Amino acid sequence: MKVILLTENVPPVLFAAAECVVVRTVEELEQHRGADLYVDLDFTMQEARLSVLSRLLPSPVMVNAMLNTIGEIGRPFMRINGWPGMLERTVHELAVSDARVGAQVAEVYKKLGHVFRLAPDIPGMITARMLAVLINEAWYTWQEGVSSKEEIDTAMKLGTNYPMGPFEWGARIGLHRVVELLDVLGETDSRYIPAKSLKKAGSGIKI
């Protein structure tokens, strides 16, 4: 089983049972024709990138696209929740365009010896939405002076048995990613509008 990973960063160990080749640019993908799976961890909605990825079809193409749905991408790719910390989980969260691609995913993951769950093809899928809301509510609570960040993290870990508190999760994921998702979700639902303090922190302003 040969997997080609496209990322400019140090890649996580995605599939221990596979032969993984890491490439740094999208153009390098076409030098590895015939792979069993292509994974673009640095995916962006650029036409040149989409063109190269499309030429790899009908081989399975997986993209780390948390904001853009497959409908918006317009290609029969697989979406994976590639937020930091998510790829190391025992179960991957994926979204697909149709039953045919779903069957393709099942076959690939069976060969890889890994587990996946299908989520709706919506921005953030399921886990990222839940984490974004949790992190956002924590920032609202902190900016209103209810408690400190450390106390909120501790309360969430002790009260809900979460492995990390919301501020720890935000630091792990990257606050800019959380804000990007909340901004997209907030366009149609005011419940997702990011806290002002989170928005500032996500843009790099020290608060």
Query: What dotted CATH number matches 2-118?
Result: 3.40.50.720
Q: Give residue 16's pLDDT band: very low, low, confident or very high (50, 70, 90).
A: confident
The pLDDT tens digits of the residues spanning 135-187 come to: 999 999 999 999 999 999 999 999 988 899 999 999 999 999 999 999 999 99
Q: For residue 192, give the DSSP letter.
A: G
**Token representation of residue 104:** 């393709």
Any alpha helices (H) in 40-126, and if so which ranges?
47-55, 70-73, 99-112
Q: Between β-strands 61-63 and 115-118, what pairing exists: parallel, antiparallel or unpaired?
A: unpaired
Residue 13 has pLDDT above 90, yes or no: no
Residue 23 is predicted with a pLDDT of 94
Name the residue ranges covered by the structural domains of the chain: 2-118, 127-202
Q: Give residue 44's pLDDT band: very low, low, confident or very high (50, 70, 90).
A: very high
Residue 204 has pLDDT above 90, yes or no: no
Residue 118 is predicted with a pLDDT of 97
Residue 94 is predicted with a pLDDT of 97
* DSSP codes, 160-189: H--SS-HHHHHHHH-HHHHHHHHHHHHTT-
Secondary structure of residue 114 in the 3-state scheme:
coil
- Residue type, position 143, single letter: Q
How far lies 161's CA from each of 134, 147, 154, 156, 165, in Å? 14, 19, 10, 7, 9
Q: Give residue 7's pLDDT band: very low, low, confident or very high (50, 70, 90).
A: very high
CB atoms within 10 A of CB 206: 5
Q: Between β-strands 91-95 and 78-80, what pairing exists: parallel, antiparallel or unpaired?
A: antiparallel
CA atoms of 176 and 89, how far apart (whole Å): 22
Residue 206 has pLDDT above 80, yes or no: no
Query: What dotted CATH number matches 127-202?
Result: 1.10.1040.50
Residue 12 has pLDDT above 80, yes or no: no
Residue 15 has pLDDT above 90, yes or no: no
CA atoms of 28 and 63, how far apart (whole Å): 16
Q: Are 179 and 199 in contact (CB under 8 A)?
A: yes
